[in-house]
Structure 1
Amino acid sequence: MFGSLVVFFPTRHEGGVVHIRHKGKEWSFDPAAITAAQESPSIAFIALKSDAEREITVVNSGYCVTITYNLYFDGSDTSATPQIGVDEGEALHKCLSTLLDNTELLPDGGYLGFGLRYMYPITTNSTSYSLFEVINSLKGSDAVIKRVLDQLDLSPELKIIYEVEDDDDDCSPLQVMLDSEASFPEEQSDMSLKEALSEYGTIILSEEIHWVTPLTSFSRITSQYVTYGNEASLQYAYGDICLVVEIPVTGKRLKGKRGGRKSEDS
């Protein structure tokens, strides 16, 4: 998938503004205002590259009806497709091997995190299955990273990272790692979001994870949950998909344990 096309139907609504960020630039696209300004019913549409970050604001009233098309290159003739990332993979393999040999890196064990560089279609009503599909169809540099991690026997997995406020620290948010969006708690009673998430996922402290490539929001999941105070309230939390590998304590990170580079034919 190299991009997506989103078509907005001329239904009356407020909100649903699309904010786009790409290579340090930002744009806003308001389909409600565009369709309302037309003399006759008209659609609005926007096309985005797969590495463009997008965020859609909440629809405050009415209904926002859309169709999203995932855009792919024609794969009927793959004979001229180049082998992508061979040199990059060799360099990354060497770099990660050196990194894992560093006894000062996560001496008590922890996680290596890799933010995704491309956007992938995520089906939130069946995220576990969708994540399984995505990890087997990564693109470009994301695919190179996974291939190298497999060669190092590091068992990469796709995880969802949510950032939540720390009840004990007003400044630093906590990162909570879930296996799937289905694990996200749908409602809270007297617990904070941090407490609710900790029952379903893993709270990661900053000293327990090393981000080799920064966490991105290109493939973001919006999760809904209900809080109860004086009255029920619908809230939203945002989780970002990333590649994660768990690494053991320093003493167990031996080259013989990790194995050498696997052949491309294996």
Structure 2
Amino acid sequence: MTSSPKRISLVLPYYNEAAFILPTLESIAAQDTRDFRLIIVNNRSDDASPAMVERFLAASEIDYTHVEEDTPGVVPALMRGIALASGEFIGFLNADTIYPAHYVAGCLALFDANPTATSVMAIDLYASPASAEGQKRLKRVLFAHSLMPKKCHAGTYAQSWRLDMFRAAGGFDRAIWPYVLEDHEIMVRMMDKGPSVYDATHYCFPSTRRTNSTAVSWNAWEKIAYGVLPARAMPWFFYRHLAGKFASKKMLSEALRNRNWE
């Protein structure tokens, strides 16, 4: 389904997400703006999810493109979506994350209110934003961002970028970074190009299954190092330290397909 040009392209890669993807698509269909194009990338799924996705989208009012990427791994799937993106901005979604109805409109409004910003980042919540737990999480992330404005405090599923600047920096690319934690590595290349924006009204709700992903992530000491090292040390930390460790442990982006962290 195609229509007039949209301000933002939303890239949603998926692999065997039959148990999760329909609620995600329902949340996208419920957005209170239609100024987006959904680029949804099937990364060699062998379950029912591709048929589910196509049935839902064909019956929806979403402007979408549904394509396949045969190279396994989230980064190749993201690269496929990036190549098809158009408009001023690009945002990334996960197939197991719920996006509130104001998500896309809020993202565009935050870019408009912050013309020098390279990115708008959503805060991941696991409870209602009005609850004590939700308020605590919002304040924690906003405080972390105030202390470490050049570090990343949002996963790929919560990131939106100015498309021309994102592409100019190389975007997500296996030739640059083939490992997990692509959501943090991209900030190393973007941190000096302009600020990232976080706001208490801009959030999403990821599945809690991703909180148990230590098998394909950094360890506790590396997380601490990421927090305490200055921004100028990030190129060394990623390209000299983490890259070597991740290569030796085979922590490539396709490792997420194993899902031994679920």
The alignment's TM-score, normalised by the length of structure 2, stands at 0.25
Between Structure 1 and Structure 2, the one with more helix by share is 2
Larger gyration radius, structure 1 or structure 2 = 1
Tell me which protein shows more strand as a share of its residues.
Answer: 1
TM-score normalised according to structure 1 size: 0.25
